[in-house]
Amino acid sequence: MKLATCLLLIAVGVGCGKDKAKDVASPATGTPAASTEAGQVTPAADNVPLSHSVSVSADLAAACGLATTRTPDPHFEYDKDELTEQDRAVLAQIATCLTSGPLAGRKVSMIGRADPRGTEEYNLGLGSRRAHTVGDYLSRHGVKSDQLAFTTRGALDATGTDEAGWREDRRVDIELQ
Protein backbone atom coordinates (compact mmCIF):
# COMPACT_ATOMS: atom_id res chain seq x y z
CA MET A 1 0.00 0.00 0.00
CA LYS A 2 1.33 3.38 -0.93
CA LEU A 3 1.70 5.69 2.07
CA ALA A 4 0.02 9.03 1.70
CA THR A 5 2.28 11.98 1.14
CA CYS A 6 1.24 15.35 2.44
CA LEU A 7 2.42 18.60 3.70
CA LEU A 8 1.27 20.97 6.33
CA LEU A 9 -2.27 20.20 7.29
CA ILE A 10 -3.87 23.27 8.63
CA ALA A 11 -4.96 26.69 7.35
CA VAL A 12 -8.53 26.50 6.34
CA GLY A 13 -8.65 27.00 2.65
CA VAL A 14 -11.63 26.09 0.57
CA GLY A 15 -11.15 28.40 -2.33
CA CYS A 16 -11.99 28.43 -5.95
CA GLY A 17 -9.96 29.21 -9.01
CA LYS A 18 -6.27 29.96 -8.73
CA ASP A 19 -6.23 30.25 -4.92
CA LYS A 20 -7.28 26.63 -4.32
CA ALA A 21 -3.98 25.18 -3.27
CA LYS A 22 -0.61 26.54 -2.38
CA ASP A 23 0.95 23.07 -2.51
CA VAL A 24 2.57 22.02 -5.74
CA ALA A 25 3.75 18.70 -7.10
CA SER A 26 7.43 17.97 -7.03
CA PRO A 27 8.64 17.91 -10.62
CA ALA A 28 10.90 14.94 -9.89
CA THR A 29 8.33 12.66 -8.29
CA GLY A 30 4.92 14.13 -9.03
CA THR A 31 4.08 13.81 -5.32
CA PRO A 32 2.74 16.67 -3.22
CA ALA A 33 5.33 19.05 -1.87
CA ALA A 34 5.41 21.76 0.76
CA SER A 35 6.04 25.36 -0.14
CA THR A 36 8.49 27.11 2.12
CA GLU A 37 8.19 30.75 3.17
CA ALA A 38 10.98 31.64 0.75
CA GLY A 39 8.94 30.10 -2.05
CA GLN A 40 11.16 27.05 -2.40
CA VAL A 41 9.56 23.64 -2.67
CA THR A 42 10.52 20.81 -0.35
CA PRO A 43 9.20 17.23 -0.51
CA ALA A 44 6.34 16.40 1.85
CA ALA A 45 6.89 13.75 4.52
CA ASP A 46 5.42 10.27 4.26
CA ASN A 47 2.57 9.73 6.67
CA VAL A 48 1.81 6.72 8.82
CA PRO A 49 -1.79 5.44 8.57
CA LEU A 50 -3.00 4.83 12.13
CA SER A 51 -6.73 4.26 11.84
CA HIS A 52 -9.55 4.02 9.32
CA SER A 53 -9.54 7.72 8.47
CA VAL A 54 -6.43 9.27 9.98
CA SER A 55 -2.75 9.17 9.11
CA VAL A 56 -0.04 11.20 10.81
CA SER A 57 3.42 12.38 9.88
CA ALA A 58 6.19 9.99 10.90
CA ASP A 59 7.72 12.59 13.25
CA LEU A 60 4.41 13.09 15.07
CA ALA A 61 3.87 9.31 15.37
CA ALA A 62 7.39 8.82 16.74
CA ALA A 63 7.24 11.73 19.22
CA CYS A 64 3.88 10.61 20.58
CA GLY A 65 4.75 6.90 20.57
CA LEU A 66 1.83 6.05 18.30
CA ALA A 67 1.72 2.56 16.84
CA THR A 68 -0.03 1.51 13.66
CA THR A 69 -3.29 -0.12 14.73
CA ARG A 70 -5.33 0.41 11.61
CA THR A 71 -7.07 -2.08 9.40
CA PRO A 72 -5.74 -2.58 5.86
CA ASP A 73 -8.06 0.04 4.36
CA PRO A 74 -8.00 3.47 6.05
CA HIS A 75 -10.93 5.56 4.90
CA PHE A 76 -13.93 7.68 5.59
CA GLU A 77 -17.04 6.15 4.14
CA TYR A 78 -18.06 7.52 0.74
CA ASP A 79 -19.45 11.06 1.07
CA LYS A 80 -19.10 11.00 4.90
CA ASP A 81 -17.07 12.82 7.53
CA GLU A 82 -17.82 10.79 10.67
CA LEU A 83 -15.03 9.28 12.77
CA THR A 84 -14.90 5.60 13.70
CA GLU A 85 -14.23 4.36 17.22
CA GLN A 86 -10.69 3.47 16.12
CA ASP A 87 -10.18 7.01 14.78
CA ARG A 88 -11.33 8.49 18.10
CA ALA A 89 -8.92 6.25 20.05
CA VAL A 90 -5.96 7.40 17.93
CA LEU A 91 -7.05 11.06 18.12
CA ALA A 92 -7.38 10.85 21.91
CA GLN A 93 -3.72 9.73 22.08
CA ILE A 94 -2.69 12.59 19.81
CA ALA A 95 -4.67 15.06 21.95
CA THR A 96 -2.89 13.86 25.10
CA CYS A 97 0.47 14.17 23.36
CA LEU A 98 -0.34 17.76 22.27
CA THR A 99 -1.74 18.87 25.63
CA SER A 100 0.40 17.19 28.29
CA GLY A 101 2.80 14.91 26.45
CA PRO A 102 6.08 15.39 24.61
CA LEU A 103 4.51 17.74 22.04
CA ALA A 104 2.57 19.91 24.49
CA GLY A 105 1.80 23.23 22.88
CA ARG A 106 3.03 22.22 19.40
CA LYS A 107 0.94 23.04 16.34
CA VAL A 108 -0.46 20.49 13.92
CA SER A 109 -2.10 20.70 10.54
CA MET A 110 -5.01 18.63 9.27
CA ILE A 111 -5.31 18.04 5.51
CA GLY A 112 -8.69 16.75 4.42
CA ARG A 113 -8.82 14.54 1.33
CA ALA A 114 -11.46 12.99 -0.90
CA ASP A 115 -11.66 10.51 -3.74
CA PRO A 116 -12.03 11.88 -7.28
CA ARG A 117 -15.76 11.25 -7.65
CA GLY A 118 -17.74 14.47 -7.45
CA THR A 119 -16.94 17.98 -8.60
CA GLU A 120 -13.71 19.68 -7.62
CA GLU A 121 -15.61 22.23 -5.53
CA TYR A 122 -17.59 19.52 -3.74
CA ASN A 123 -14.48 17.45 -3.00
CA LEU A 124 -12.64 20.47 -1.60
CA GLY A 125 -15.59 21.12 0.71
CA LEU A 126 -15.76 17.46 1.77
CA GLY A 127 -12.02 17.44 2.50
CA SER A 128 -12.47 20.57 4.60
CA ARG A 129 -15.35 19.02 6.57
CA ARG A 130 -13.24 15.94 7.25
CA ALA A 131 -10.28 18.04 8.46
CA HIS A 132 -12.58 20.04 10.74
CA THR A 133 -14.16 16.86 12.13
CA VAL A 134 -10.70 15.73 13.22
CA GLY A 135 -9.80 19.18 14.58
CA ASP A 136 -13.08 19.46 16.48
CA TYR A 137 -12.40 16.13 18.15
CA LEU A 138 -8.91 17.27 19.18
CA SER A 139 -10.36 20.56 20.51
CA ARG A 140 -12.93 18.72 22.61
CA HIS A 141 -10.01 16.81 24.13
CA GLY A 142 -8.06 19.88 25.20
CA VAL A 143 -6.01 20.90 22.18
CA LYS A 144 -6.15 24.69 21.89
CA SER A 145 -7.54 26.21 18.71
CA ASP A 146 -4.29 28.12 18.06
CA GLN A 147 -2.50 24.74 17.84
CA LEU A 148 -4.72 23.61 14.96
CA ALA A 149 -4.58 24.54 11.30
CA PHE A 150 -6.82 23.22 8.55
CA THR A 151 -6.60 22.81 4.83
CA THR A 152 -8.18 20.71 2.14
CA ARG A 153 -6.75 19.07 -0.92
CA GLY A 154 -10.05 17.52 -1.91
CA ALA A 155 -9.25 15.05 -4.68
CA LEU A 156 -6.28 17.01 -6.03
CA ASP A 157 -3.80 14.31 -4.96
CA ALA A 158 -6.12 11.31 -5.29
CA THR A 159 -4.50 8.24 -6.82
CA GLY A 160 -7.28 5.64 -6.67
CA THR A 161 -8.86 4.24 -9.82
CA ASP A 162 -11.35 1.84 -8.19
CA GLU A 163 -13.16 1.45 -4.86
CA ALA A 164 -10.10 0.03 -3.08
CA GLY A 165 -7.95 2.93 -4.25
CA TRP A 166 -10.63 5.56 -3.64
CA ARG A 167 -10.94 4.27 -0.06
CA GLU A 168 -7.27 5.20 0.44
CA ASP A 169 -7.96 8.72 -0.87
CA ARG A 170 -10.71 9.43 1.73
CA ARG A 171 -8.75 10.48 4.82
CA VAL A 172 -7.25 13.28 6.94
CA ASP A 173 -3.49 13.59 7.28
CA ILE A 174 -2.14 15.17 10.48
CA GLU A 175 1.34 16.70 10.53
CA LEU A 176 3.46 18.76 12.86
CA GLN A 177 3.97 22.35 11.84
Domains in the chain with CATH codes: 23-35+42-176 (3.30.1330.60)
Q: What percent of the chain has pLDDT above 70?
A: 68
Distance CA 52, CA 73 (A): 7
Higher pLDDT, 18 or 95: 95
Q: Residue 47's pLDDT is what?
A: 72
Q: Residue 146's pLDDT is what?
A: 98
Nearest 5 degrees, angle CA 8-CA 72-CA 157? 35
38-52, 62-76, 95-109, 161-175: least confidently modelled range: 38-52
* 54-57 vs 32-35, strand pairing mode: unpaired
State the pLDDT confidence band at 162, using cuts at 50, 70 and 90. very high
> Model pTM?
0.70
